[in-house]
Chain A
């Protein structure tokens, strides 16, 4: 029998008053997967994660972690989950090491866990801050303590809710490296993020939520293949002036000797477009084709609905 998935979500609904925050979410996340949960603000990403963590109680549906129900078997599931909250929260009364030791203690782990706490302090570059009060830490350091607190009980499934929001480039890169390492060590990673580049670089499979529903759920490459457009950049030997009408309609911009065209993958053949440009007397010296990125697919999937909503 195959092992239960790391996370299984079945027909999950949650309402906050008139707001239907989750409208029947249904998918599962395999063990050892690096899973991305994307969506615009208010799409329901945090609500979904909070349901998983037990911070929000679903109205109906079922959520389980490694086969254990998050409502009825919450003691088991909370041990299996390490959650890094989105908000930069901390207890101003305590020092970094104390914060980690208390967090471990809540999970029933005492002195036997101290070696792991020291290892976390070193890995997260906090060893020289172990006796610093939480209040005195920079935002980036507080973020790292939050990650440490989530990992203090060695959970197999790690959930990171926007871990790099408001974090500078250097720390973001360091966090990515660390999260990749966790993944390579066998952790299942569930990541919500605003930075699509982050999801594109890290995640194997991606769900896109919009208005409480999953509008896409596929591997990164399948999702990228959904892009229906590509950009064609053309560099000419002379200034580009006259263009045939059927080409002009596709122009994104013209800038002296160069221009960019937006082409539909299904309708516009690059070869015939190039022929038409040559026929118009333009001497092409170089071309560059740019496939749509995750961001473009994301806008394509969530944008229409937003426009309707306005």
Chain B
């Protein structure tokens, strides 16, 4: 157990030592989105009944920050260790594939959570946001950052160069998170795009998370929960198999 705890602490300390870049910068970015979009779109975009557009934006931006940073943490740590070669320090230890998995994922969840909380703490100075269910908010934050942390491990194992990781981030993670309903309710989309959004797992993360604040969502909360949990289980199973096989880690 102490081995996993050590890996977890090392991974947390790793991002905390550069918190300006890993925590503060994404919080500021999310707040800039908030200020600009709310200024331009408030009164123009209709979302949920009785919910201001600016308040509506906050959970979306929080979740976007949570998932992007959870992904960034596990993926960048792994690729850096691989490229610089210091991954051997882990591979030489008695840590099992499951312990490696838990250590990386838990730290990435903490980073996602920290950034999300940072966005919330600063945003509430700007606009009043209701809280419908703390359990749903925290539950979705943990599950969703878990899914992205696992995707980060997959990307970190698969990528051999930084540009391959950047491609994963820019062509998969960014579009899926931007097009998941951060800035809009999918009911405002034309039918085709609405249907397409249902195939985006990130949509369920944001929608379920938003339910925690407003008590209303595009989808039933149970459906979102099930989709996110399924994604977590499927991707975790795949990742554990990859780690166990030593794919791209042990020759």
- A and B bind: yes
A265 at the interface (CB under 8 A from B): no
Interface residue from B9, B89, B91, B95 paired with A91 (Cβ < 8 Å): B89
* Chain A residue contacts of B9, Cβ below 8 A: 102, 105
Interface residue from A57, A76, A78, A105 paired with B6 (Cβ < 8 Å): A105
Q: Are A54 and B250 in contact (CB under 8 A)?
A: yes
* Chain B residue contacts of A75, Cβ below 8 A: 94, 96
* Chain A residue contacts of B92, Cβ below 8 A: 53-55, 78, 81, 83
With an 8 Å Cβ cutoff, the count of chain A residues facing the other chain is 32
B199 at the interface (CB under 8 A from A): no
Those of B75-104 within 8 Å (CB) of chain A: 81, 84-86, 88-96
* Chain A residue contacts of B2, Cβ below 8 A: 105, 108-110
* Chain A residue contacts of B36, Cβ below 8 A: none
Q: Are B251 and A57 in contact (CB under 8 A)?
A: yes
Those of A81-96 within 8 Å (CB) of chain B: 81, 83, 85, 87, 89-94
Q: Are A50 and B10 in contact (CB under 8 A)?
A: no
A55 in contact with B94 given A106-B6, A149-B89 (CB within 8 Å)? no
Complexed CA–CA distance, A149 and B92 (Å): 11
A55 in contact with B88 given A79-B94, A109-B2 (CB within 8 Å)? yes
A107 at the interface (CB under 8 A from B): yes
C-beta contact mask, B1-45 vs A, less than 8 Å → 1, else 0?
111011101100110011000000000000000000000000000
A27 at the interface (CB under 8 A from B): no
A74 at the interface (CB under 8 A from B): yes
Interface residue from B3, B14, B95, B250 paired with A55 (Cβ < 8 Å): B250
A56 at the interface (CB under 8 A from B): yes
A144 to chain B, nearest CB (A): 15
A103 at the interface (CB under 8 A from B): yes
A75 to chain B, nearest CB (A): 4
Most chain A beta carbons < 10 A, residue from B6, B18, B93: B93
* Chain B residue contacts of A149, Cβ below 8 A: 89
Most chain A beta carbons < 10 A, residue from B10, B14, B85, B246: B10
Q: Are A102 and B10 in contact (CB under 8 A)?
A: yes
Those of A1-51 within 8 Å (CB) of chain B: 16, 50
Most chain A beta carbons < 10 A, residue from B5, B6, B18, B95: B6
Chain A residue nearest to B5 in the complex (CB): A105
A107 in contact with B93 given A56-B250, A93-B14, A102-B10 (CB within 8 Å)? yes
* Chain B residue contacts of A85, Cβ below 8 A: 85, 88
* Chain A residue contacts of B13, Cβ below 8 A: 93-94, 98
Those of B48-95 within 8 Å (CB) of chain A: 81, 84-86, 88-95
Interface residue from A56, A78, A90, A91 paired with B251 (Cβ < 8 Å): A56
Complexed CA–CA distance, A303 and B44 (Å): 81
Q: Are A90 and B90 in contact (CB under 8 A)?
A: no
A19 to chain B, nearest CB (A): 12
B76 to chain A, nearest CB (A): 11
* Chain A residue contacts of B96, Cβ below 8 A: 75
Chain A residues engaging chain B, CB cutoff 8 angstroms: 16, 50, 53-57, 74-76, 78-79, 81, 83, 85, 87, 89-94, 98, 102-103, 105-110, 149
| Those 4 A-B pairs whose CB atoms lie nearest each other, nearest first | A105-B6, A106-B93, A89-B85, A75-B94
Name 23 interchain pairs, CB-CB below 8 A, sorted by A.
A16-B251, A53-B91, A54-B91, A55-B91, A56-B250, A78-B94, A79-B94, A81-B92, A83-B92, A89-B84, A89-B86, A91-B86, A93-B13, A93-B14, A93-B17, A93-B18, A105-B2, A105-B3, A105-B5, A106-B89, A106-B90, A108-B2, A108-B3
